[in-house]
A and B are shown apart, each in its own frame.
Chain A
Amino acid sequence: DTEVTQTPKHLVMGMTNKKSLKCEQHMGHRAMYWYKQKAKKPPELMFVYSYEKLSINESVPSRFSPECPNSSLLNLHLHALQPEDSALYLCASSQYNSYEQYFGPGTRLTVT
């Protein structure tokens, strides 16, 4: 299984809602990543988890809260988002840090 899955594919939420994005891989990878991509822009790194511990937080606002409950699963909890947070959220994993990354298909988030 060489796949990274993300759910949901699409999400529309209001600014007062709380929602979560989910990312899963069963390749035994020990590093997982969250990226944000705005239209016609390259992805931007948000968080890196290494061995289930947060190793990089790229100064992301606290309304985005990552969680890595086990080595296969990565969540991104969303609360009180702004319309400018609307974007494609991509998850990726790699065997270890600095190895080749495998990307999921993304969750397209719209904040109304």
Chain B
Amino acid sequence: GAVVSQHPSRVICKSGTSVKIECRSLDFQATTMFWYRQFPKQSLMLMATSNEGSKATYEQGVEKDKFLINHASLTLSTLTVTSAHPEDSSFYICSARPLSAGYTEAFFGQGTRLTVV
């Protein structure tokens, strides 16, 4: 099946620094990718829809200046957590869905565990 690769899997950064997370679709093109955030023992909260060649669409309550999304190619989307603070510590997961006669299943990256100290 299709593969989505996310990197890094784990990152620890100091408060105030920025962290970039990459999400790649390895064997299909993705005009849109999705970024989710997950707190311990909770569900996935959609943060934003990443659109190739245009601005991302953010969900209500998500700070676009805090979570910068770039979708520069049909196989790569990046999420940059700017000026990270401890409350940004979380598990971030990206996903993409091949579009073939309609959307079917989504493929997920392995997730990135961000710890801000």
**Does B bind A?**
no
Q: Give A residues with C-beta under 8 Å from B.
A: none
Interface set of B (CB-CB < 8 Å, partner A): none
